[in-house]
A and B are shown apart, each in its own frame.
Chain A
């Protein structure tokens, strides 16, 4: 529908062309949904999060100054929406070690292995999970993830390693123990 770079679409939207926003949604909604699905573990939560992400975009796009790529900014919004969702849920699920309730036969994951990995992923503390999803699932480089999270690159690498170890233990059914967690800086432009 809309051609041009993301940044051109953003500029057109800020100038009053609402079709440009539709173009951004068309182009990016699948990736946003996929990140949210891996972070949150369910279709309904991922759908809600995807809607919240683009609502946030709508409100904040005029403040987007183009200092980072639009996709980096969009990833940051997506991660923050997912982390907010996870933290809002927490009082209902005080133990991070409980197996999350996800359908065993969720058709979104086509194999039993994928279901197991998704289930284990949800047991990994969210700051590590974020880096696992962005790097190992989405293939984002360390530098981009550091920019998305507003964290030093060394922190990203460290969380990636700790996250992988936690996931591996979760897959083996081991208790994850007291893993350190740290907050992702809220660095909306």
Chain B
């Protein structure tokens, strides 16, 4: 016979026992040093566990899940995913490698039109820009598929503190141009719309590294993500667009460069828009 009222001890520690059971446990604890010791340990453990904070979800977790489930759904489910475009973009990333631009603009951009994208895919060149293939769903909806931002790029560029001063001005010019051409003007519109869903691996991993465990701040929008070097160390560079809050148009860019291995910050710069 088990003399120790084990099933009651959890509730006793929780403080949720009815009075008669509590009296039973307390009578037992008065005469059983083993259970009394265990209850003391359990009370401390419970306190530590209930104080554990909620862990921040890495940037892009939801996107990663949706990308994997959508890709699989095409094979395992009879349903046609309306956002098949994400899978098309992922295929473009796998297929090309050196440089891929992901995104959607409502305006036009000759250089990044689908024809140019296909040409680049056939003749992959350094820093080529590739547009996702238009899906049949987009055709049916009459949406013009166009590549732009958010952009992911792998380059041989070796940034330094000095060269970044110039680059930051160029990034700001690119941001202004993209905004003129229809890039979502506020963080709320970015995260609530299609542009965010076009941010796929490996860009998500890079942004997660740059965020380095900080909860995703949805007032900050990743605009350019680049795997390059900084002072000869492999680095991720992310250009963020930022406004005073999620509903106010961006008023500056922030450029964060981190070590690709440790995710430690190597450089930070900002520029008003």
Cβ of B67 to closest chain A Cβ, rounded Å:
9
Q: Which of B46, B57, B214 contacts A164 (CB 8 A)?
A: B46
**For chain A, what secondary structure do more than half of its interface residues adopt (helix, strand, loop), or is it mixed?**
helix
Question: Chain B: interface residue count, which band?
Answer: 35 or more
Q: Give chain B's interface secondary structure class.
A: helix
Please name all residues of chain A whose beta carbon is closer than 8 Å to the beta carbon of B78 when the two chains form the complex: 16
Minimum distance in angstroms from A90 CB to a CB of chain B? 24
B54 neighbours in A (Cβ, 8 Å): 30, 34
- Chain A nearest CB from B146 CB (Å) reads 23
Report how far A22 CA is from B79 CA in the complex, Å. 13
A25 close to B (CB within 8 Å): yes
Residues A132 and B61 in contact, CB atoms below 8 Å apart = no
> CA–CA, A135 to B83, complex, Å?
37
Q: For chain B residues 227-260, which have a beta carbon within 8 Å of chain A?
A: none
**Chain B residues whose CB sits within 8 angstroms of the CB of A107 once the complex forms:** 212-214
Contact between chains at B46 and A55 (CB < 8 Å)? no
B2-10, B114-122, B147-155 - interface stretch: B2-10
Q: Determine whether the beta carbon of B7 is less than 8 Å from that of A54.
A: no
Interface size on A, residues (CB 8 A): 50
Most A CB contacts (10 A, CB to CB) among B44, B57, B80 go to B57
> Quick one: which of A63-92 are within 8 Å of B by CB?
none
- Known A137-B50, A164-B46; contact A26-B62, beta-carbon cutoff 8 A: yes
Known interface pairs A107-B212, A108-B55; A161-B42 also in contact (CB < 8 Å) = yes
A residues apposed to B, CB below 8 Å = 16, 18-19, 21-22, 25-26, 29-30, 33-34, 37-38, 43, 46-47, 50-51, 54-55, 58-59, 106-111, 113-114, 117-118, 121, 132, 136-137, 142, 154, 157-158, 160-162, 164-165, 167-169, 171-172
Query: What is the interface of chain B, defined by CB distance below 8 A to chain A?
Result: 6-11, 13, 38, 41-42, 44-46, 48-58, 61-62, 64-66, 68-70, 72-73, 76-83, 212-214
